[in-house]
Every structure is written in C-alpha cells, then in structure tokens.
Amino acid sequence: MSKDHIYEYWEAQGQTHGESHWASWGDNWMIDLEIDTIGKHIKDGDRVLDIGCANGYSTFRQAQSHKQVSITGVDFAPSMVAAAQETKMQKGFGEDVSFSIGDIRSLQFPSNTFDVAYTTRVLINLSSWEQQISGIS
Ligand SMILES: C[S@@+](CC[C@H](N)C(=O)[O-])C[C@H]1O[C@@H](n2cnc3c(N)ncnc32)[C@H](O)[C@@H]1O
C-alpha cells in the first residue's frame, strides 16, 4: 500500500479525533442522513461490511439499530482502527462488531462472506478511475 498524502491525512485525523464524528467529517447532520439511508438497506441478521469505516462512528450506529447483525469495519488508517477498537471496548460491544486494517483496493475476504457491503465517502479518496473501479470490484 502506498502511503501518500491522503493516507497521512486520514492517519492524522484518526490520531486527533478519537471517537468523534470529526475524524470523518464535521457535518454530523449529514452523517446522520447517511446512516439512516444506508440503514434502510440492512436487514436484521445481515453480515455487513463497512469499508473505510474510519473510527466506527457510523458502524456502531448500524450495529445498534439492527438486530443480530454482524458488522465488520475496515479502514486503511491504523489510527482509525485503533480508535474504533477502543470505543468498542469502552462501550461493551461484543464479537458481532469487529474492525481490522484493510485497503478497499485489496480486500482479502472470501466471496459470500457478507450480505451487504457499503462504503461512504471513501472512493473519492482514490485518485484515479482505475483505482475506483478496483475498489468497487
Ligand atoms: C470521509 S471518511 C468516511 C468515514 C466513514 N465511511 C463515514 O461515513 O463516516 C474516509 C475514510 O476512508 C478511509 N480510506 C481512505 N482511503 C481508503 C482506502 N484506500 N482503503 C480503506 N480506507 C480508506 C480513510 O482512512 C477515512 O477513514
């Protein structure tokens, strides 16, 4: 994985903002709308992948608002994943919520691991159409 200025930016955001929505974006009202809109595509019991989950701000909200979902968040910035894991521990989420480091361009999950995969404001961080196609794939 190349550690360019985009990576450095998000790594710093994760280090600075802890569990706050500011790690991802200052507009928490718009984030609420995103969470509501994406949540309509998740059914109780689904296995869900949140790609580019940042500090898990939205991931936890989806876990809380659906029954028996298992939700995995991945992000390429270690500070974001560390913040998510810290919040998970503090708030007492169980093993149905998990986080790991991963790059949307090279995820290693076997096919059919998830019922729903979503990504919010992450593809915009990929600097070419070829990389965005790779991420979508
Ligand atoms: C604008 S934030 C969005 C966070 C979250 N999806 C949300 O809706 O609040 C973008 C996130 O994407 C992550 N990201 C950027 N490029 C990525 C990549 N190539 N692979 C995985 N995560 C990436 C950043 O580290 C950052 O946490």
Q: What confidence tens digit (pLDDT) does each residue in 68-114 have?
A: 999 999 999 999 999 999 999 999 999 999 999 999 999 999 999 99
Q: What is the pLDDT of residues 6-43, one digit of tens each?
A: 999 999 999 999 999 999 999 999 999 999 999 999 99
- Predicted local confidence at residue 99, as pLDDT: 98
Q: Find the mean pLDDT for residues 35-59.
A: 98
38 lines ligand 1 (CB under 6 A): no
Residue 2 has pLDDT above 80, yes or no: no
For residue 12, how far is its CA from the centre of ligand 1 (angstroms)? 12
pLDDT band at 133 (very low <50, low <70, confident <90, very high): very high
Query: Quick check: 84 and 59 in contact, CB under 8 A?
Result: yes
Reference 120, options 131, 133, 135, 107; nearest CA is 135
Give CA–CA dist 112/94, Å, rounded.
Answer: 22
Residue 3 has pLDDT above 90, yes or no: no
- Predicted local confidence at residue 67, as pLDDT: 95
For residue 66, how far is its CA from the centre of ligand 1 (angstroms)? 23
Please state whether the predicted TM-score (pTM) of the whole model is above 0.85. yes
Burial class (CB in 10 A: 0-12, 13-18, 19+), 102: buried
7 lines ligand 1 (CB under 6 A): no
pLDDT band at 1 (very low <50, low <70, confident <90, very high): low
104 lines ligand 1 (CB under 6 A): yes
To which H or E segment does residue 5 belong? helix 5-17
To which H or E segment does residue 80 belong? helix 78-91
